[in-house]
A and B are shown apart, each in its own frame.
Chain A
Amino acid sequence: MTAAETPAGKLHAGRWARARRSPVIVIGALLAVLAIIAVAAATIGAAGIPFHRLLAAAGLGAGDPDLIARDRLVLWSIRLPRIVLASMVGALLAAAGAIMQGLFRNPLADPALVGVSSGGALAATSTIVVGDRLGIPLPFELLPIAAFVGALSATTALYSIATRESRTSAAIFLLGGLAIAALANAGIGLLVFVADDRQLRDITFWMLGSLGGATWPKTLAIAPFAAALIVAVPLIARGLDLLVLGEAEAFHMGVEVERLKRYAILLVSAITGAAVAVAGVIGFVGIVVPHLLRLMIGPGHRLLLPACVALGAILMVGADTGARMLAAPAEVPIGILTAAIGAPFFLAILLRQRSVASL
């Protein structure tokens, strides 16, 4: 008899099973980790701020006034906006992945992989190039909206390609996404071809993904999208749970399927677009985070989605700090880092669950 089979072992397993499904414990633990990693990220960088000076800069300790003033400047205008932006981008991308996976009933769905991010990036780059050509100074806040429209077009196209008579084919979904990504990337390529040097620098940023240009205005520009996500999660979570059984079953069980799909598509496009507008195309976060969480806390969306928001933020702040440390003082584009970690992860899921792709 193994430990798990004894009554005490069973009790223990029961307690563990309950704990890992308790929203308070799961979200609380994730937020605690996020706080720790954010503090660590604040101390690390080209202008390092050791922990005791971080406390002083935050007004919680004494120190050299000159040093405190310098640290405050670094912290307030460089480090903090970047940490906040990274957490929001990570949260948005992870949640977008989880919602998309629920909508398409496919654990391999990721906005970057199936062309939704590329659609957003194409719309944003077109806005930059066209705006420049026309000589109109465009406010930065326009980019998330342009990216949203691009991402929405890509998601809608993908949905109509992959779903026929309320059945979604996993293979057509992934291959259709591949075509949409190729098309959007061709568009971006064309813009690269016609762009001048300054525009080119901006466009390269979309293609590799980076949090390097983090500022408070950028952070504020995507904050409404993050807020919309937090509000929408409880509204769509139950529907996404039932959608796991298929569209027809979800309808039989009382879900207004068409409305749920519309909301989910709009939401995925909006939050992916927002993330793309400020950070470019960063892949695989949307696959890695929900998959890890399903293993840890189960697939129920009511807990999975908020947990994705928290773990996505943790992962992105961690990855961004890694990107800043790896080749300091230079920065590795974060999209390269997430792809290097995420792509093997994607393959591992694919090989473990060959059947989900039914290729």
Chain B
Amino acid sequence: MTSALAATSMTVRVGAKTLLDQLTLAIAPGETVALVGPNGAGKSTLLRVLAGEIAPQAGAVTLRGRPLKSYSARTLALHRAMLSQHTTVAFPFTVADVVRMGAGDRGGADALVASALAEVDLTAFGERIITTLSGGEQQRAHFARVLVQLACGEAIHGPGLLMLDEPTASLDLRHQLDLLEATRRRRARGVTIVAVLHDLNLAALFADRIVVLDHGRIVADGTPADIITDTMLEQVFGVTGAIGRVPSPGLPFVLPHAMARMKQHLHPHVAAPLS
């Protein structure tokens, strides 16, 4: 089966710094993948490369079997939608205006806009100027915009690819779960989802598959139960003895309370790949 998205020995450098180091990753259609790892591991860079925003210096990325480079920005936008970490709106657009931008210049998006606003719990905020909203509310509005874009693409090319960079960073607990639910509904329809997440517990709840990055390489890749282990936490994050299990589905959860004795940060290269 053709991967929804595949990267082969991909390298990204900025100046002398290697952000992604010969990274290879294939994501199957309909999969939900969480990218985790310490700060500076290259998660956001990887997502931006997979979205076509940054071109790698070496290696190739394919989307549905075709080189990413061969897509025009316009076509690409119908295959994947991406939510960035921080989006600022420069002029006083209303929330509904911004959400409607997801539909591009296609008319008749009113119903899509209304349902996306309802899904992120912002129905009452449609006519508000977006910059007057709180950070979390703005982030939800941008999520609604991305959902509209995804729906427009789905109408043409079938279920697409949803990419999220720290989607829950500024959300309260309830809206984190709302967002999780929204992604689950998309997954049920066959949408492929790739998200950078900081919260390992959320990653365990969210994803079929967790990919752990460190220093621009993949150091672990598997199901949440396989990946969230004491060894991984200690080697990658420098934290020990924090793992428990949620009783019914048996998902792991992390409650960090101590740093690893060995100072991972001082000797980052001693960490051997786990997989």
Chain A residues within CB distance 8 Å of chain B: 17, 101-102, 105-107, 238, 241-242, 244-246, 248-249, 251-257, 294, 298-300, 356
Q: Indicate which residue in A244, A248, A251, A252 contacts B91 across the interface (CB closer than 8 Å).
A: A244
- Chain B interface residue count, CB cutoff 8 Å, equals 32
Is the pair B97, A298 in contact by a Cβ cutoff of 8 Å?
yes
On chain A, the residues within 8 Å of B90 by CB distance are: 105-107, 244-245, 356
Per-position binary interface string of chain B over residues 215-226, scored 1 when its CB falls under 8 Å from any chain A CB and 0 otherwise: 000000000000
Could you jot down 29 A-B contacts, CB within 8 Å?
A17-B127, A107-B90, A245-B142, A246-B84, A249-B84, A249-B87, A251-B52, A251-B53, A251-B73, A252-B81, A252-B84, A253-B77, A253-B102, A253-B149, A254-B73, A254-B76, A254-B77, A254-B78, A254-B104, A255-B74, A256-B74, A257-B73, A294-B91, A298-B92, A298-B93, A298-B94, A298-B97, A300-B93, A300-B97
Residues of chain B from 64 to 99 with CB closer than 8 A to chain A in the complex: 72-78, 80-82, 84, 87-94, 97-98
On chain A, the residues within 8 Å of B72 by CB distance are: 256
* Interface membership of B5, Cβ < 8 A: no
* Interface membership of B177, Cβ < 8 A: no
**Which residue of A has the minimal Cβ distance to B103?**
A253
In the complex with contacts A254-B77, A254-B78, A299-B93, A241-B101 CB distance below 8 A: yes
Chain B proximity of A291: nearest CB distance (Å): 10
In the complex with contacts A254-B74, A256-B72, A248-B53 CB distance below 8 A: yes
Query: A248 vs B86: C-alpha distance in the bound complex, in angstroms?
Result: 11
Residues of chain B from 25 to 70 with CB closer than 8 A to chain A in the complex: 48, 51-53
Given contacts A254-B78, A299-B91, A300-B93, 8 further A-B contacts (CB under 8 A): A102-B91, A238-B105, A245-B87, A245-B90, A245-B142, A248-B48, A253-B102, A256-B73
6 closest cross-chain pairs (CB), A and B: A254-B77, A105-B90, A299-B91, A254-B74, A252-B82, A256-B73
Chain B residues within CB distance 8 Å of chain A: 48, 51-53, 72-78, 80-82, 84, 87-94, 97-98, 101-102, 104-105, 127, 142, 149
Is the pair B88, A246 in contact by a Cβ cutoff of 8 Å?
yes
Q: Indicate which residue in A107, A245, A252 contacts B53 across the interface (CB closer than 8 Å).
A: A252
Query: A254 vs B84: C-alpha distance in the bound complex, in angstroms?
Result: 15
What's the count of A-B pairs with C-beta under 8 Å?
Answer: 71
Most chain A beta carbons < 10 A, residue from B75, B88, B102, B127 = B88
Query: A300 vs B80: C-alpha distance in the bound complex, in angstroms?
Result: 25
On chain B, the residues within 8 Å of A300 by CB distance are: 93, 97
Query: A356 vs B98: C-alpha distance in the bound complex, in angstroms?
Result: 19
In the complex with contacts A299-B93, A300-B93, A253-B87 CB distance below 8 A: no
Query: A243 vs B52: C-alpha distance in the bound complex, in angstroms?
Result: 17
Q: Indicate which residue in B73, B74, B77, B89 contacts A244 across the interface (CB closer than 8 Å).
A: B89
Query: A256 vs B74: C-alpha distance in the bound complex, in angstroms?
Result: 7
On chain B, the residues within 8 Å of A106 by CB distance are: 90
On chain A, the residues within 8 Å of B98 by CB distance are: 245
On chain B, the residues within 8 Å of A251 by CB distance are: 52-53, 73
On chain A, the residues within 8 Å of B77 by CB distance are: 252-254
On chain A, the residues within 8 Å of B73 by CB distance are: 251, 254-257
In the complex with contacts A251-B73, A252-B51, A254-B77, A245-B101 CB distance below 8 A: yes
Chain B proximity of A300: nearest CB distance (Å): 7
Is the pair B101, A107 in contact by a Cβ cutoff of 8 Å?
no
Query: A326 vs B89: C-alpha distance in the bound complex, in angstroms?
Result: 42
Most chain B beta carbons < 10 A, residue from A101, A242, A245, A298 = A245
Is the pair A253, B101 in contact by a Cβ cutoff of 8 Å?
yes
On chain A, the residues within 8 Å of B91 by CB distance are: 101-102, 105, 107, 244, 294, 299
Chain B proximity of A58: nearest CB distance (Å): 42
On chain B, the residues within 8 Å of A256 by CB distance are: 72-74
On chain B, the residues within 8 Å of A249 by CB distance are: 84, 87
Query: A238 vs B107: C-alpha distance in the bound complex, in angstroms?
Result: 13
Query: A294 vs B89: C-alpha distance in the bound complex, in angstroms?
Result: 14
Most chain A beta carbons < 10 A, residue from B48, B53, B94, B102 = B53
Query: A107 vs B84: C-alpha distance in the bound complex, in angstroms?
Result: 23
In the complex with contacts A257-B73, A299-B91, A299-B93, A248-B105 CB distance below 8 A: no
Chain B proximity of A351: nearest CB distance (Å): 16
Query: A225 vs B48: C-alpha distance in the bound complex, in angstroms?
Result: 39
On chain A, the residues within 8 Å of B89 by CB distance are: 244-245
